[in-house]
Each structure stands twice: as C-alpha cells, then as structure tokens.
A and B are shown apart, each in its own frame.
Chain A
Amino acid sequence: MKRVKQLTDHVGTFVCKALLVVLPCIIVSACTTARVEDTRQQSTGILEGEGVVIMARSYHLGNETEMSFIDCIGSAISRGSSGLRVIPSAEFVDALFPWFEPRTAPSDTKALPDFIERPGVADMIAEKGVRYVIWLDGDTDRVAGGGSLSCAAGPGGGGCFGFAWWQNDSKYEAAVWDLTALESAGTISTDVSGTSFLPAVVIPIPLIARTKAKACRGLADQLKLFIVSEDA
C-alpha cells in the first residue's frame, strides 16, 4: 500500500514537473500578433430578412484564398446572438449563372450598375435577400522556419529528437459591397503572425500557433460589427 502511495507521489511529481516545463511553452506558442483594421466608406446596417454572401476573389485574378477560410468566416459570422444570415455562395452563384462566375463577376463596384441591369439579376438578388457581398482575398503563408528533427524506429521502439520551428503569416482582406446602394461599404483587413514550435525528446510535442483560425475569428467579429453598426 505504501509502495503504491510512493509510486503515485512519483507520478504526481513527474506530471507537475512536466507541466511546469510544458505550460510556459504552450503559453509561448499561443503568442501570436494580430492586427485588424477597417476602412469605412459609407454607412451600413442590415434589416430583418437581409443577408450576406461570402465569396473568394476570382482565381482568374490570381487569388488563392483557402476554401476552409471562407467556410470558417461564414460559420463564425452566422453564429451568436448578433449572427448574420449567410446565403451559401454556391447557391447564390448558381442562381445568378453566368453573371457571378470567376470570369464574369464584377471586379469592382463600378461594374455593379451594369451587373444589376442584366435580365433577372435584380429580381434574383431580391429573392435571395442578399444585401452585402463580402469578397475575401489573401492567404496563409509560411514565412520562415528552421531547426531540425529526426525520428527513428527499431524493434525495441522508436522516438524523435530535435527541435523545429516555423512562422506563419495570415493576411486577409474583406471588401464589403452594398448591393442596395451599389457601392463599396468599406474594407477590413487582418494580419496575424505566429511561430509554431516542435520540440521532441522521444515524443514530439507540437506547439502550434493557429494564425489562420485567429485571423478568421478576428475578421468575422469585425465584419459583424462593421455591417450591423450604422455609423458612417
């Protein structure tokens, strides 16, 4: 009984020591620098029944925004008590075919009056209740990295030794177009950078800086405020 108690104490001490080492690392890994800025060009606001569509800028223009980021923004912007109604982009693009395809969608707000005058377009936008189109641009890049990590396995077991790190930079911009006023309401940009670490002593412990997830949360929160707020 005493031996069991001693063993438990040893395990407890080991866990505490391990936590003392790992916790600061987790806190360090969580350190990301984030910046969110918005530029308002006109007053916004949204009525009941109105919604938004979240689109990626056309790949014909070289944009490489990840689908996962667009899904993340759509999900985050529709959540919560102040969540906005999000019309799925595929449904909107199909309903307006062929005028919102990557090749044909208006590339700036100057093209909106011509776009809205195409046969059936204004009626379809009204039917879908789309007030704002949010165009997303940007991506997440690995900007630096280093260290070395090697793993080996044999009949008696395996393990990894070493240390690796890398820095990710998530830069995104959301342009908000008002389809009622046919003007740009403004833009919101976010820039999140963070360094991830992967120390390994037998077992690798990944300490990941989730820059894309943080950029998504920051941008979605700001977009909600930007659209709901009626300030000019």
Chain B
Amino acid sequence: MAACFAAFSGCSSQVTVNDPTIPDPLIEKIPLSVAVRFPDQFDHYIYEDQLAGREKWTVDLGRSNELLFTKLFSSMFNELTVIEGGMDPKDMPIDAYIEPSIDAFEFSTPAQSQTEAFAVWIRYRIKIFDKNGDQFANWPISAYGKSQTTMMGGDDAMRRAAVLAMRDAAALIVMQLDKTTRISRLNRSKLSRAAVRSEPENPEPTMTEPVEEASKTAASEDAIDETG
C-alpha cells in the first residue's frame, strides 16, 4: 500500500520533441541574403510545470526550434547563414539578420481544460536587424497547437500539440513575415538602385534612407501580435 502511494505521489511526465519535421513550404523565396542568430535557449529549451495537486510535466524541446527556424528560413530566403560564436553580422555580405526567441511557453492538460485534448501555446519573438545592426522590426507571434489524447497516452498527445504549435508558428511566419515587417525592403540591390535614383536631388546619405523609411513603417507595426 505504501509502495503504491509512493509510486503515485511521485507521478511525472516527460515529453521530448526532437524534430518537428517541417515540410518544404510551397512558397516563392524572398530575394534576400539573410543571417540568423539562435539564442542559447534554442540549444536545449526545457519547460517544467508542476500542476497544483497533480503530476509534474517536463517538456523538452531540445534543438527542435533551431531545426524549425533553419528549415523555415532556408526555404523562405535566397540565402541563409547561421551565425555562430563571435561572428559579427556587420562583416557579412547580407541584407538582414534575424534573431528569433521564445518569450513564453504554456500548455494545458485534459484535467485542466475539462476536454480530451492537450493544448500548447508558444510565443515567439522575431527581431530583424538591417546589415548595419540597427533594429528594423520586432514582431511577437503566438502559435497554438492542440491534440486529443489517444491510446498512446498523454505524452504522445502533448508532443503532438507542441509540434502543431511549431507548425502553426511556421505557417504564420510564412504568411505574415514580409507583410508585417516589410523585410523585403532590406534588399541591398534595391536599396542601391533607390540610392542612385535619389542621388541628383539629394547627394547626402541615401543608402540608409529607404531603410529608415521602412523602419518607420515596421516600427508602427512592432506591437502587432498575430494571435491565433
């Protein structure tokens, strides 16, 4: 009896997501050369929550976010470079560099929601910088995944809900990244052409002018939160 009680009182579930396996998206690439810097949290993201009076859940996303964004951005842009260690993006021949991060991770279990489903919310933040290192856009996005419990048990449903949330984020980024942040305006060749056109009238710095204009547009949209 005591052994049974001990076994049940220490109840916990651990879920590991290794690879969200994002398919090749059916999209036209944005003509940009982009670099991406992943934060340390993307190396081994672990979320733990002890539900009041219930079991403890540990969700280990491992390197799945790094795999997600590498796959996503390499499909979305003409060129992608992953910035590692002390590399300085200002020294690189790029149009823009991006820093994705996780702001928040939450989940609900069937016991909490009084349904038969597990749900996962992930709030990502996408920061975009121009080639000079100035922040161009700051875009928070909320992704949501939901999966019903199956014969395989709660762990499997939680894992699937997390993967669905990551796919949801990917879909949202594909659909809205350029519309919301105007990242395509950072194309160097376009900026150069704009600079040449404006040179006779204004011999002062022209390279950054369209970027600044674009920054104003993007800045006004910084607070937009694309929730599901």
Contact = CB atoms under 8 A, between A and B. Distances in A.
Interface string A95-114: 11111011110000000000
A18 interface: no
A104 B171 contact: yes
A59 B22 CA distance: 19
B148 A121 contact: no
B168 A97 contact: no
Interface string A102-139: 11100000000000001111001000000000000000
Contacts of A104: 171, 175
B148 A98 contact: no
B186 interface: no
Interface residues of A, number: 20
B115 A97 contact: no
Nearest to A96: B26
A94 B23 contact: yes
A60 to B, nearest CB: 6
Given A97-B22, A101-B167, A103-B168, A119 B27 contact: yes
A97 B148 contact: no
B211 interface: no
Contacts of B148: 64, 66-67
B170 interface: yes
A118 B5 CA distance: 57
Interface of A: 59-60, 64, 66-67, 94-99, 101-104, 118-121, 124
Interface of B: 22-28, 115-117, 144, 146, 148, 150, 164, 167-168, 170-172, 174-175, 228
